[in-house]
Each structure stands twice: as C-alpha cells, then as structure tokens.
Structure 1
Amino acid sequence: MTEYTLKCESATFDGVDDITASRDGSSVGFVARKRSEFAMDAYVSPNAARAFARGILALADEIDGGEVEAEETTKSAPIKVGDKVQIVRAEACSSHMAGRTGTVGVVDSDDPHLPYRVVDERGDYIAWAREVRKVDEPATLPGRVPVVSMRGDIVTQAKALLEGMEHTAADIIRLAEFLDAGK
C-alpha cells in the first residue's frame, strides 16, 4: 500500500501530528492524527485530490518562490507477510505496543486503517497496526531462536510510553524493568 505522510514541523508537536494520504478503493483517503491519536479522516475522488495537491503546490510556491526538490516520502517497499517490523502506530486499544517488533502475520489490503497483523516469534498476536516499518534483519523462522532479545523491544516500548513527558534515561530503564517484570 503506497502512502504519503506529512509530519508536523512545529517545535511543540514535531513528528507527533501528521496527515497521511493513501488509496482507499477508488478514493484517496486522508487520515489526520493529533498527538499520535486519530483526529479525522476524509475520502475524496482522484480529481478532488489532484486539485487539492495543485493548491498545496501553489501555496508552497507562494511562500518560497518556486520549486524545490521533492523529498522521498513513500515507503521503500511494500510490507508483506513474513517481514520483520517495528510497530509505529497500533490500533487505539493497543497503542502501548508502539515500538514492539514482530513479524507480519497478515496484510489486509482491504483495511486502510489497520492493515497489518503483527505477531511475535512464536506466532502469538501482538497487535493490529496502522503503520509499521521494516527492521533490517530477516524475520525469525518458526521454531528458531530469535536473533534479537526482547530487551530492545521493552526499552523501545518504555521510550514510546514516556514520549511527550519529561524523563531521564534512568526513568526509561526503570519503566523497562517494570514492563519486563510483567511479562
């Protein structure tokens, strides 16, 4: 699924607020998130999306006077079953799973909101995810010992939970230890 994401560049919400555009059947879907939570969505015809894109280009040209080189905003390769991924955004009830790594068990191309079912190395369910990113190492095959320990996942999860709050490295470690004790 090709999608384009525009992240907020405000100092207050840098990288936390975003708008994503992607194909939704015969429409172009726009999904907005505020502080990483779903805010709204809109679905328009391809013609309306083109008109909107031209308007955005005109605004940008008005601000800086002309064309600049386009940034690469598409995901490099499609996510497929078996890919080792890190959860970027999970469903609302599983938002605490952001940062966890796992393997894509299902890709539901008919569901633009939660297309990825992520499982752990045993094949157990972790979460349905809106957005994942590939992890460089290959997915672990069933019955084999995973290459990476869960410690990195737990630290990443602790960082994600503390995001937006003032914290120290010691806070991250304490929270990671707490999370690890509950597993």
Structure 2
Amino acid sequence: MRENYRAQCRWAANDFLNAYRVGDSVHVDAYNDNEEKANASLPVAEARAFARGILALADEVDGGEARSEARPRVGDRLRVTKDNPRSCPVVVGDIITVVETDYGHDGEDCVRFVWPGSDYRWFIPVSAVQRVGADTEPASVAEPLKVGSRVRVVRAEDPGVTRSFVGRVGTLTEIDSHDPRMPYLVRFGDGEHGADDGAWWCGAVEPVNESPADVTDVATVDAERAARLELLEAAKRLAPGGNVDDWMRIAAYLEGN
C-alpha cells in the first residue's frame, strides 16, 4: 500500500500537493483545480533536506531532527571555521551575516552572505561556520572598504602563502569584485607592481585609522638632518683637528643619536 501525504492549499479547496515514495525516490505532484500540473522526483536525501526546510519555515521540529533554532537564520552573525569553504573569499575567524538560507543546496545545508567588494551572495556550508553567541565579544561594525582608504594587509595571497606585504599599511586603490581570491589592490609607494614600494593585489585587508602622530613627516625629518649636518660642518671649520673620538661623539649628537 502506497503512503500519500497531502498538503492542502489554505485558499483553494482543489489546489494541493501530493507526496509519495516510489522505490528510491520521493515524488511530489502539484494539483491545480484538481488537475495535475507539475511533478518532481526527488532523491531521498534531497527530499529529506527539503522536508527539514519546510519544518524550519514552519518553525517546528521533528522527533529526531535538531531544533530549527540551532540552524542559522537570516540576520544571524556567524564566525567562519574553515578557510575558503566552497571557494568563498573568507578564512577562519572572519565574521559574516546571513542574508539568505539555502538548506539542501546540492545536498548540503548552506547559507548565503555578501562580502565587501562584491554584490554576489556567496554560498557557505553550515558545517564551516559557528554562531557568534552571547559569550563571544561583539565584533565592531567596520565601515565598508572604499578606494582611497588606508588599510593594513591581512592576507596577501591564498591562505598558507606568506608574502612580505602582510602587516604593511598602504592605500586601497582598486577593488575587483570579480576576483574573490585577491580583490584588493593596495599601493605602498610609487614603485612598480610587486616592488616593496609598489603595489600588490591582496586577499584580505582591514581599515586603519591613522592619526597625524602615527604618520612620519619625511620632509620634517630631512630638514632636521640637513640642519644637523650644517652644524657639524660649521664645527669642523671653527675647530680643525681634535680628538677623533670627540668628533665621533659630536657627529652622533648632531645626527640625533
């Protein structure tokens, strides 16, 4: 005897869904005005994931299933626990906000999020994130990255590859929303691309708020050095000869040491 499960439309008595199992598939037929209009044959795993999704939408739980509250919902903040899951541009420790749930995507429970520099809604498996709970320090809400901002390089290339640019501060000059691996072009000086004083495409950056005291005024340093050298030359003209050690101490002082 075939078991049938019917879901009745609340608005039309002759509209309903009918589900039943045949072999290793679950069939779902859609009826409109008592006529079959569409049908789908689902693998058991897909049917199970779909059923869990229905339960979550209805805010209910089934006997052996985890409570729907344990599954991420839209608006939840999650911490990433794996590097680049499903090629997402995130690594361990990154915080994301759920903008959409997609349970049963390709046979896997996923949620979707938007990462700075792109409007694309990335898929990330629930197995690669954990909820940011009340016992976790709330993360500060960072302003969106903008071209022209001062940033610090967090990751220069793919995870596991170390570059000399990591930790350096530069100016964000371009954001490539089509490259999830290295979307940020950071410039450190006027040099060529790849040079220490040039620019480099980076995988992750963080904004830096530099106060005037944090920035060295090169012009001021050069002016002070020039003044000390002038004093040294004047001292040599006024007092020729003398002990070499004394001259070295004077030179060190005038150099600012």
Which category of TM-score, normalised to the shorter sequence, fits these structures? 0.3 to 0.5
Structure of greater relative contact order (alpha carbons < 8 Å, 6+ residues apart): 1
Q: What is the TM-score of this pair, normalised by structure 1?
A: 0.42
Greater C-alpha radius of gyration: 2
Structure that is richer in helix per residue? 1
